[in-house]
Structure 1
């Protein structure tokens, strides 16, 4: 409960006529209950006293452009490999015997995977044992992602998909591994006028993919082993990416290098500078 003196003080404060304050200044004022509160008029000025922001960009060029635009003497960049994250603290501390920074202005490079990379990873048996596909599913997947494959060539890949689509009503017998590493499936047709006819399908040992792991990043060759299982419900097929984690690490390292050094113009493609002398530390800010 307020004392009589506090009530008198509060009434007296309310009777004070409004007066102009200096915008951008911090004031200590009575809170009406005997205490003090701080009033910051920074929000009414034409611009704040210091920058405060937490931005996110999705490619190296945008990251470099932003850092170079706002760079201060204390600006630092932190690269965290396992999280595939790069963070710039624009207003960080300048260093020994120098001014400290507010550390309220940050920029994050939030890398995003391409649709092609996500499509293959979703079918990767190395990370998802349930990614086995029926003949029809395998054929449709190969047709949909044929442009990602550099070897075998496009014509043979489509031919392979077509054969698997056309042999859903057959009985597969043995699978023979050939000298070149490919597997030959022998089958006998069980339905239709060609019932009893035999045939075969040659399955390549692996696919050579050209994938861009991150949007805006470089393309890498990724090898995918082709696998199969003979089950009671029929033949199932799948792909197993070879060490995709190494590809991601290499892609991230190349992006950090691009941020530091920039890239030169090549084959008509524009380049961009790096962040120059801004230090890069490996870890989290």
Structure 2
């Protein structure tokens, strides 16, 4: 088509009076290249199909959302290695049933608590360089004392105080006692009490009460205490016992809570909620 003819065609199209269209409908319009599809769904009061990607951070919110939007084809996928749960709200209904668009999804994005992150950051099994000097160890124990179930709080604070008070001593030996604790013998090297000897008893391990995921249950976690006597002084560390198993158990319990619901917990004041009932749960990724 010549430039002059194209101009005439454009002027002719502009001369056509505007017409009202129905919002939400799909139109086929003739154009110079054939037929063009125009979808006016964006102008309708409501879209034809639900399309959303939502993220919640606890099981209760996940269940509430699924129960609010569930359809005949709704299904849930739980992936243990990544600790992720995904609900496909508009999935396929099944053999010889309606197919779903699979555009409406909800993800449970679990987040670790500050307590879990604090202890795992110093886990020698995950971070072999996470040794602390006496002052650092004492400060950490004081800061996280409420996470420790055994030994009791008074013993723990006493231990931290002793380590803070003996930063300028020379440790001569460490003796393991019959009860599993370690006795550190030391002699003071500065001040008016130079040469005086003393000892510190270090527990074999700490029993922690940690909540791995925000909104999830609390688990007992054993933290074995480690030590090294180096030229620059005593350094200490912790080694969590099988933290990966704790995470797997915590995730499994959360999936169970999603399926079956949870009763109110008077201990931590958490409210109860129902489960997703007959919505199927598959282990894997959608």
TM-score, normalised by the number of residues in structure 2 = 0.96
The residue aligned with 1:173 is: 172
Alpha-carbon RMSD: 1.5
Structure 1 position 18 matched with structure 2 position 21: no
The residue aligned with 1:136 is: 135
The residue aligned with 2:157 is: 158
The residue aligned with 2:281 is: 280
Distance in 2 between the 1:97 and 1:185 partners? Answer: 73
User: Does the 8 Å contact 1:185/1:201 carry over to 2?
Assistant: yes
Per-residue deviation, 1:27? 1.2
Per-residue deviation, 1:8? 4.6
Distance in 2 between the 1:101 and 1:215 partners? Answer: 32
Distance in 2 between the 1:227 and 1:54 partners? Answer: 45
Structure 1 position 238 matched with structure 2 position 229: no
Distance in 2 between the 1:147 and 1:264 partners? Answer: 26
Distance in 2 between the 1:176 and 1:19 partners? Answer: 93
Q: How many correspondences in the alignment?
A: 284
User: Does the 8 Å contact 1:135/1:235 carry over to 2?
Assistant: yes
Per-residue deviation, 1:3? 7.0
Stretches of structure 1 that go unaligned for 5 or more consecutive residues are none
The residue aligned with 1:145 is: 144
Per-residue deviation, 1:42? 0.9
Distance in 1 between the 2:8 and 2:277 partners? Answer: 63
Per-residue deviation, 1:64? 0.1
User: Does the 8 Å contact 1:26/1:39 carry over to 2?
Assistant: yes
TM-score, normalised by the number of residues in structure 1 = 0.96
SS at match of 1:141: helix
Stretches of structure 2 that go unaligned for 5 or more consecutive residues are none
SS at match of 2:228: strand
The residue aligned with 1:97 is: 96
Q: Superposed, which structure 2 residues align to 1:109-258 within 5 Å? A: 109-258=108-257
User: Does the 8 Å contact 1:24/1:49 carry over to 2?
Assistant: yes
User: Does the 8 Å contact 1:6/1:34 carry over to 2?
Assistant: no
